[in-house]
Amino acid sequence: MRRRFYIIALHAHGKILPETYELISFVRDIGGEEKTGIILGSKPGIVMMARELAQKTGMDIICATSKYLENYNAQGYKDALKGLIDCTDPCYICIPHTATGFDFGPLLGAALNIPCISAIEDVHDGVLIRSMFGGRIHARIKPPGPCAILTVQPGAWEGSAACSGPAGPVRIVHSDISPGKTIIHKLKVPASKDVGFADAEVIISAGRGIGSEQNLALIKRLAAMFQRSAIGATRAACDLGWLGYDHQIGVTGRTVSPRLYMACGISGAVQHISGMRNSRLIVAINTDPHAAIFRVASYCIVEDIKTFIPLVLEEYSRMSGISF
């Protein structure tokens, strides 16, 4: 069955997000040959990004413009894409599984009356694979019909290399959408502090499994052993107020790839793993021997951090003569 793959390009602050290029690698692995990129926004900036995408990928690009697409709006994206995509022929609509992507993806599926399969992290012989129940189970899914929306986990595929051939054609269309019930007038980036992820060779991350905010003292002492280190966290730990959201790693946080990543009390939900899976060495400490984090870890330690970390600090102090 010949099937067209629509790649929905996401962008922020005038730049195409790297997850867009990861979709191209995903489409290649699933056997897609007929690809069309779609990018939504307002002139003139969106046209420049469309041409950049066509140059880097060689794909045919549809650039849909509207004053109501200047800022992201789920209803606006749904309405614009519904008017562009023809589901009378077999097609897969591929969207990055970011906070934006899994916001409008299911809405678009409902509008087109096609299924939405979310958070895909692998593919095998045309079968889509995603995690369920906090990573404890891997579901194997095959879309029941000729068309589907597929949201793809960030970091599950490497971004495609730049195309060495000619740029693809860009078709600019005006999207005749209405303002809808919600209008975003302005986006304001929240004030944030630099927590040192960019320069860190070692990141020690805390999850809800560390037990309490008081146990962050152990995480900080462990991080102090390394000269270029930073402290990360899961969303659960940030939601509890143990650390600020500047420390969050994962789909709705930061993506990191340090030389050493230590996951302390982290169960391994796919949303977190997508933000750290490219770390060179992963050490996971968890009391649950079946924790999903152990599937991606280089070294798996089944122990309570209140027992394990003091032992590490004691041994390091004995060998180095430096106390932490």
Same fold, 4-174 and 202-320: yes
- 201 contacts 229 by C-beta, under 8 angstroms: yes
For 277-287, the pLDDT digits (tens) are 889 999 999 99
Q: Which helix (H) or strand (E) holds 20?
A: helix 18-29
Judge contact between 277 and 269, C-beta under 8 A.
no
Which amino acid, 224? A
For the stretch 90-103, pLDDT in tens is 999 999 999 899 99
* Predicted local confidence at residue 191, as pLDDT: 66
- My answer on whether omega of the bond before 179 falls inside 30° of 0, hence cis, is no
Largest CA distance in the chain: 71
Question: Looking at residues 226-254, what average pLDDT do you find?
Answer: 93
d(CA 5, CA 90): 9
202-320: which CATH number, 3.40.50.10190, 3.40.630.30, 3.20.20.100, 3.40.50.1220? 3.40.50.1220
For the chain, domain boundaries: 4-174, 202-320
Q: CA-CA distance, 290 to 235, in Å (whole number)?
A: 21
Q: How confident is the model at residue 236 (pLDDT cuts 50, 70, 90)?
A: very high
Q: Write down the pLDDT at residue 133.
A: 79
pLDDT, tens only, 127-173: 999 988 777 788 999 998 999 999 998 888 888 877 778 989 999 99
Q: Is the pLDDT of residue 215 over 90?
A: yes
Please compute the mean of the pLDDT values over residues 45-49 and round it to a whole number: 94
Beta bridge partners of 170: 61
Do residues 206 and 306 lie in contact, with contact meaning Cβ atoms separated by under 8 Å?
Answer: no
pLDDT digits (tens, 9 = 90+) for 276-317: 988 999 999 999 999 989 989 999 999 999 999 999 999 999
Rounded-to-integer distance, Cα 20 and Cα 96, Å: 7
> What is the structure's pLDDT at 99?
87
Residue with tokens 């549809």: 62
Is the pLDDT confidence value at 2 over 80? yes
The pTM score is 0.79
The answer to which of 2-6, 125-129, 176-180, 245-249 has the lowest mean pLDDT is 176-180
Q: How confident is residue 251, by pLDDT bands cut at 50, 70 and 90?
A: confident
Give the bridge partners for 205, in sequence order: 232, 263
- List the structure tokens of 88: 């009378």
Quickly state the pLDDT bin for 182 (edges 50, 70, 90).
confident
Confidence of residue 260 (pLDDT cuts 50, 70, 90): very high
Q: What is the CATH T-level fold of the domain 4-174, as seen in this structure?
A: Rossmann fold (3.40.50)
Quick: pLDDT tens for 20-38.
999 999 999 998 889 999 9
> Worst-scoring range by mean pLDDT, 7-21, 55-69, 130-144, 178-192?
178-192
Residue 324 pLDDT level (bands cut at 50, 70, 90): low
- pLDDT level of residue 190 (50, 70, 90 thresholds): low
